[in-house]
Amino acid sequence: MKKIFTLSVGFCLAISAFAQKDVEIKLLSPKTGDEIYVMETIQLTYSIKNVGVDALTAADSVFVNMKMSGDYVFGGFSHRHVPHNTMAVGDSVFYTFSFAFTEKEIDDFPFCFELETSSNGQPFDSQASNNESCAMINVDERSAASVDENVQNNGLKIYPNPATSSIIIENLKGNTAQKAIITDMLGAVKMEVDLTGATQQLAIDGLSNGVYFCRLTDDLNNTVSTIKFSVTK
């Protein structure tokens, strides 16, 4: 089951109460429609642009905090940006960092990167409408981290994992696997392929993104090994 989340971005400025300073923030990655797994490390990228009429200086600071509904702040997530030099009107800076959703099961609610403005403890921003940038992404509650990069089972190995267009099945102990049967998480058979050697490459172009099982059988149709892998295109 896929969960839908909102990623939004916000900032906090500590600036002179009378300065006409305005910062715009944009979420660049992930994009609307992107699919990720719980426990999968992804890259979040955002830009900050000075769209006001006054420059930002080293006396100004920008805070970026990621929250979700209920004002819960993700532990350890708070970015403070202080310009090393003057950030002139029209200048932009870009930031990228890693993040992974660690919850196994999450109800539908928005994740937020929220910008808050303050000067001497008082909220301040000349333009609040550009303090958020959002993306709707699909988060699969099945953990990609539970699928090893190279899965081995009973002397058989399958890689790469996750796979994109093909997988390689390698026979490490001379097992007599004759056929590979690929099923989805519900047990529906998606592919059946006869194996012809100790190492064989299988095209999986017809498989959609998701988690699958590759069941290897011998010439009597007995199961030799069952290996789990994922497809990410």
Count other Cβ atoms within 10 Å, centred on residue 217. Answer: 19
How far, in Å, are 8, 183, 207, 222 from residue 210 at the CA level?
Answer: 26, 11, 8, 26
What is the pLDDT at residue 116?
Answer: 61
The pLDDT value given to residue 219: 76
User: How does 149-161 read in b/e, with b if 16+ C-beta sit within 10 Å?
Assistant: eebeeeebbbbeb
**Residue 183: per-residue pLDDT:** 83
Q: The domain 2-144 belongs to what CATH superfamily?
A: Immunoglobulins (2.60.40.10)
pLDDT at 107: 44
The sign of the dihedral angle between the CA atoms of 162, 164, 170, 175 is positive
**Cβ distance 73 to 67 under 8 Å?**
yes
The answer to whether 158 touches 53, Cβ cutoff 8 Å, is no
One digit per residue, pLDDT tens: the chain, 233 residues? 444 445 555 444 444 434 577 888 888 877 776 766 666 667 778 888 888 888 877 777 777 777 654 444 554 466 666 666 778 899 988 887 777 766 544 444 456 666 665 545 555 566 777 877 777 666 666 544 444 445 555 667 788 888 888 888 886 556 667 788 888 766 778 898 888 777 888 899 889 888 888 887 777 777 777 777 888 88
Q: Where are the domains of the chain?
A: 2-144, 147-231
Backbone dihedral angles phi then psi of residue 142, each to the nearest 5 degrees: -75, 135
Angle at 111 between CA 65 and CA 93, to 5 degrees: 45
CATH fold match for the domains 2-144 and 147-231? yes
Structure confidence by residue, pLDDT tens digits, 72-127: 455 446 666 666 677 889 998 888 777 776 654 444 445 666 666 554 555 556 67
**CATH code that applies to domain 147-231:** 2.60.40.3080
DSSP string, 44-94: EEEEEEE-SSS-B-TT-EEEEEEEEGGGEEPTT--EEE--SS-B-TT-EEE
Q: Is the dihedral of CA 79, 85, 86, 87 positive or negative?
A: negative
pLDDT of residue 129: 79
